[in-house]
């Protein structure tokens, strides 16, 4: 079992001009086979028009323990949302 | 179900951390792979998701058996697509299990040497084409009842795998119903075959949900952790209530003479399967246990040169690329 195929993360772009989205992972010996396998595993029902694969060990991820420092600062900035501003009805759509 | 009698580990972590973890689950948050989790939660999930994945893979065997003998080209194409889906479902689930820190090859090894189980249902044979219809309709029908609530399970990757699986699963049940309906509405001989399939597969299908609640010792902790969403008997009752009218629609006799509508409960009463048979099949003594494991072992051994060859080729290509740079 020493020769286990590496793990790849799979990203698929759907039909409607959306960005590529993570759909899951799979094992494959190289990128070419990873794309072929992704086609079989993740697009059996017209789910996608484009596939990205990246070897899982090349992904850097934020750590759950950084949740506070990373995301809390935005909680106090409600003015970043349009609903913060009161626009009089007579001004119309904005 | 596809994961039957999964032993739940006793939690042995720091009580404060355990309480905070439970609070997250109670609040409906999803637990993600890098989050802290009790060692027992991790271990139980590896066992459960692994067993579920193995069931999808081994579940290809009884149906694959009939691909080359399907009665029409259309039925053959449908069955091929269905069996391919099962492979896909196995892969989604293995990936979910791998996020917990176990490797695919480790899981495969544990299936092949019998340390991990798969659902008891796949140790029963598919003797004829009618059985293929019954398997799609009853076995996948039972699987849907188990998997729909699991879409809400607390572990993110498992929940996402279940959502994908459920999207594809109703095709499986419907194609099975369509196939057995053709038999039930066919010649008297075909109808007899359909009846025989339902008679043989009914109780094994009921066993898929696992032992009766009074004998199910692992439920409480798993339900608190939301890795089990309903009790075995709740799901079994749901299956009976849903399937009895379908059997009647097909004009077939109910395989269990004890089936009776219970006005007071608002459910069908039914006879429990023979649990000694169930435990015997789990232990490895079902009609096909030996064949199924032998087939998986053979596939794994026969494929070794392909796995190694492709890996060697990939390494050679990568080395040549580095040299060229």
CB spacing of B161 vs A24 below 8 angstroms: yes
Task: Count the residues in chain B.
Answer: 325
With the C-alpha atoms ordered B120, B121, B122, B124, is the resulting torsion angle positive or negative? positive
ipTM score of complex:
0.87
Rg (CA), chain A: 21
* CA atoms lying within 13 Å on the CB side of residue B36: 14
Mean pLDDT of all residues in A82-92:
94
Sheet containing A21-27: give its strands across.
A21-27, A7-13, A50-55
Which residues have CB under 8 Å from B284's CB, separation 6+?
B114, B290
CA distances from B9 to B31, B39, B43, B217, B321 (A): 18, 8, 7, 11, 48
Calculate how close chain A gets to B97, using CA atoms only, in Å: 11
Tell me the per-residue pLDDT of B72-104, one tens digit each, with 9 for 90 and over: 999 999 999 999 999 999 999 999 999 999 999
Mean pLDDT of all residues in B149-162:
97
In the three-class reduction of DSSP (H, G, I as helix; E, B as strand; rest coil), residue A24 is classed as strand
Among the partner residues B36, B91, B310, nearest to A26 by beta-carbon distance: B91
Closest CA to B120 of B9, B29, B1: B1
- Residue A64's pLDDT band, with cuts at 50, 70 and 90, is confident
pLDDT at residue B12 greater than cutoff 90: no
Burial class of B322 by CB neighbour count within 10 A (0 to 12, 13 to 18, 19+): exposed
B162/A contact by beta carbon, under 8 A: no
- Residue A2's pLDDT band, with cuts at 50, 70 and 90, is low
Q: Which residues pair with A7 in a beta bridge?
A: A27
* CA atoms lying within 13 Å on the CB side of residue A62: 8
The single residue listed with the structure tokens 């003594």 is B285
In the three-class reduction of DSSP (H, G, I as helix; E, B as strand; rest coil), residue A23 is classed as strand
In the three-class reduction of DSSP (H, G, I as helix; E, B as strand; rest coil), residue B244 is classed as helix
* CA atoms lying within 13 Å on the CB side of residue B1: 30
Taking CA–CA distances from A1, the nearest residue in chain B reads: B105
Cβ atoms < 10 Å from Cβ of A88 = 6
The residue among A2, A3, A55, A59 with the most chain B CBs within 10 A of its CB, best to mutate, is A3
Calculate how close chain B gets to A77, using CA atoms only, in Å: 24
| Cβ(A34)–Cβ(A53) below 8 Å | yes
pLDDT at residue B65 greater than cutoff 60: yes
In the three-class reduction of DSSP (H, G, I as helix; E, B as strand; rest coil), residue B81 is classed as helix
What DSSP character marks residue B8?
P
How many Cβ pairs within 8 Å bridge chains A and B? 55
- For residue A16, what pLDDT is reported? 79
Q: How far apart are CA B223 and CA B279, in angstroms?
A: 23
Mean pLDDT of all residues in B140-165:
96
- Residue B193's pLDDT band, with cuts at 50, 70 and 90, is very high
Among the partner residues A24, A26, A30, nearest to B317 by beta-carbon distance: A30
pLDDT at residue A1 greater than cutoff 60: no
For the record, the structure tokens of A24 come out as 């899951």
CA dihedral B313, B314, B315, B319 (to 10 degrees): 100
Which residues from B are below 8 Å from A26, CB to CB? 91, 95
Tell me the per-residue pLDDT of A30-63, one tens digit each, with 9 for 90 and over: 999 999 999 999 999 988 899 999 999 999 998 8
For the record, the structure tokens of B314 come out as 């990939």
- For residue B141, what pLDDT is reported? 96
Which residues from A are below 8 Å from B102, CB to CB? none
B104/A contact by beta carbon, under 8 A: yes
Closest CA to B99 of B25, B27, B49: B49
Q: How far apart are CA B85 and CA B173, in angstroms?
A: 12
Q: What share of chain B in percent tops pLDDT 70?
A: 99
Taking CA–CA distances from A26, the nearest residue in chain B reads: B95
- Please state, rounded to an integer, the average pLDDT across all residues of chain B: 95
| Per-window interface: A 8-27 vs B, CB < 8 A | 24-27
- Helix boundaries (H) for B151-218: 156-184, 188-207
Q: How far apart are CA B295 and CA B246, in angstroms?
A: 34
B36/A contact by beta carbon, under 8 A: yes
Mean pLDDT of all residues in B169-187:
96
For the record, the structure tokens of B238 come out as 């749901």
CA B323 to chain CA mean position, Å: 47
- For residue B236, what pLDDT is reported? 97
Which residues from B are below 8 Å from A41, CB to CB? 88, 91-92
Q: How far apart are CA B22 and CA A17, in angstroms?
A: 40
Tell me the per-residue pLDDT of B96-150, one tens digit each, with 9 for 90 and over: 999 999 999 999 999 999 999 999 999 999 999 999 999 999 999 999 999 999 9
Mean pLDDT of all residues in B161-190:
96
In the three-class reduction of DSSP (H, G, I as helix; E, B as strand; rest coil), residue B304 is classed as helix
Burial class of A50 by CB neighbour count within 10 A (0 to 12, 13 to 18, 19+): exposed
Among the partner residues A27, A29, A45, nearest to B104 by beta-carbon distance: A27
Which residues have CB under 8 Å from A55's CB, separation 6+?
A6, A7, A8, A9, A31
Among the partner residues B34, B92, B307, nearest to A61 by beta-carbon distance: B34
For the record, the structure tokens of B27 come out as 């609040």
Calculate how close chain B gets to A17, using CA atoms only, in Å: 21
B301/A contact by beta carbon, under 8 A: no
B95/A contact by beta carbon, under 8 A: yes
Calculate how close chain B gets to A90, using CA atoms only, in Å: 42
For the record, the structure tokens of B209 come out as 């949900």
B192/A contact by beta carbon, under 8 A: no
CB spacing of B85 vs A63 below 8 angstroms: no
Calculate how close chain B gets to A93, using CA atoms only, in Å: 37
CB spacing of A3 vs B311 below 8 angstroms: yes
A67/B contact by beta carbon, under 8 A: no
Among the partner residues B32, B34, B88, nearest to A44 by beta-carbon distance: B88
């Amino acid at each position: 079992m020493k020769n286990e195929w590496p793990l790849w993360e799979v990203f698929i772009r759907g039909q409607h001009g959306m960005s590529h989205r993570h759909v899951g992972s799979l094992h494959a010996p190289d990128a070419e086979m990873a794309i072929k396998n992704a086609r079989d595993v993740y697009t059996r029902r017209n789910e996608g028009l484009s596939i990205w694969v990246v070897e899982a060990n090349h992904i850097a991820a934020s750590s759950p323990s950084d949740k506070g420092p990373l995301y809390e600062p935005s909680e106090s900035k409600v003015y970043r949302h349009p609903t913060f501003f009161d626009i009089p009805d007579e001004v119309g759509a904005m | 179900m596809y994961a039957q009698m999964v032993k739940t580990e006793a939690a042995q972590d720091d009580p404060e951390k355990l309480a905070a973890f439970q609070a997250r689950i109670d609040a409906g948050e999803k637990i993600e792979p890098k989050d802290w989790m009790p060692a027992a939660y991790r271990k139980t999930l590896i066992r459960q998701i692994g067993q579920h994945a193995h069931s999808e893979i081994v579940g290809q065997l009884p149906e694959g058996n009939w691909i080359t003998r399907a009665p029409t080209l259309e039925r053959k194409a449908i069955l091929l697509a269905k069996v391919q889906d099962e492979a896909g479902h196995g892969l989604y689930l293995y990936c979910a299990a791998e996020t917990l820190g176990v490797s695919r090859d480790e899981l495969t090894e544990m299936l092949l040497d019998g340390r991990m189980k798969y659902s008891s249902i796949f140790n029963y044979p598919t003797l004829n084409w009618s059985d293929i219809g019954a398997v799609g309709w009853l076995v996948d029908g039972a699987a849907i009842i188990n998997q729909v609530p699991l879409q809400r399970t607390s572990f993110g990757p498992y929940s996402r795998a279940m959502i994908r699986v459920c999207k594809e699963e109703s095709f499986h049940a419907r194609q099975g119903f369509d196939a057995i309906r053709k038999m039930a509405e066919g010649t008297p001989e075909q109808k007899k075959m359909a009846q025989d399939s339902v008679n043989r597969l009914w109780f094994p299908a009921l066993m898929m949900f696992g032992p009766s609640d009074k004998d199910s010792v692992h439920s409480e902790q798993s339900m608190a952790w939301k890795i089990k969403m309903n009790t075995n008997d709740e799901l079994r009752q749901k299956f009976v209530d849903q399937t009895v009218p379908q059997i009647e629609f097909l004009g077939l006799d109910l395989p269990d003479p004890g089936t009776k509508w219970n006005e007071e409960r608002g459910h069908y009463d039914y006879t429990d399967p023979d649990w000694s048979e169930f435990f015997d099949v789990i232990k490895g003594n079902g009609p096909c246990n030996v064949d199924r494991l032998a087939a998986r072992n053979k596939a794994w051994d026969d494929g070794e040169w392909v796995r190694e060859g492709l890996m060697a080729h990939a390494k050679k290509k990568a080395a040549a690329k580095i040299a060229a740079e």
